[in-house]
Amino acid sequence: MSTQNIQSSPSRTVDAKAATTSQLPARVSLDKWADAGFTWSGQVLPSDFTRLESLLTPEHEQSVIGVETTLSKTSNVLGLDFALDGEVWFTCQRCLQPVAVDLSGAHHIDLLEDEVQAKMLDDDDEYLLLEEVAQNDGPESFLPLARLIEDEILLKAPLSPKHDDCEMIIDQVGEIEEVEEESPFAALAALKGKLS
Ligand SMILES: [Zn+2]
């Protein structure tokens, strides 16, 4: 974020509110916001997420995804909530035409100090250990907000997207071999305590 750099031009002064709603922060200072709570809402483009973008079809225009996210403490446990509203376009693995995949939904991830805290959670709760996700920059510790949201999108994205009612006529002799692939994001899943 470089909004500070353009304050010399009065007509382009960015007020604090506009600045905070302009772009999904790549990271959030835990020292500043873990206790006070942090909220951001706005829109992102799928191309803001480079790993996601590499999976999407270039054959269809992508549209914005609404994001509302809150970092807050409940019963002394830090949690990241975010809700997504929108869809992205993949390539149908059967007919190779664009297929929309709805990303809309709400997510909650507990951010724990240690495994002891995990014992207080319900079995279905997703959690990450802060020491594994927080990034230190000098004395300050940051949560990689955009990366965590992208991780969640990648985990929920279909491995082999297809139209529900794909009408491709299979004009081949014999069966089409369905190849079972291991998710390229299995490592992400392994980081998680639980997957819903
Ligand atoms: Zn299809």
**What tens digit of pLDDT does each residue of 147-188 get?**
999 999 999 899 899 999 998 665 554 555 565 666 667 667
pLDDT-derived band of residue 45, with 50, 70 and 90 as boundaries? very high
Tell which residue, 94, 96, 101, has the closest CA to residue 178. 94
Residues with CB under 5 A from ligand 1 (ion): 92, 94-95, 163, 166
Give me the mean pLDDT over the 81-86 stretch.
97
Cβ neighbours, 10 Å, residue 24: 21
Average pLDDT over all residues of the chain: 83
Residue 142 CA to ligand 1 center (angstroms) comes to 41
> What distance in Å separates the CA atoms of residue 152 and residue 54, rounded to the nearest whole number?
16
Residue 141 in this model has a pLDDT that exceeds 60:
yes
Give me the mean pLDDT over the 82-100 stretch.
96
Residue 129 CA to ligand 1 center (angstroms) comes to 39
Q: Are 43 and 66 in contact (CB under 8 A)?
A: yes
Strand-pairing partners, residue 137, are 140
Residue 36 CA to ligand 1 center (angstroms) comes to 47
Q: What is the pLDDT of residue 177?
A: 59
Residue 138, both tokens: 């000098």
Q: What is the pLDDT of residue 98?
A: 96
Tell which residue, 111, 188, 110, has the closest CA to residue 153. 188
pTM: predicted TM-score of the whole model, two decimal places: 0.75
Residue 146 in this model has a pLDDT that exceeds 90:
yes
Residue 168 CA to ligand 1 center (angstroms) comes to 6
Q: What is the pLDDT of residue 22?
A: 72
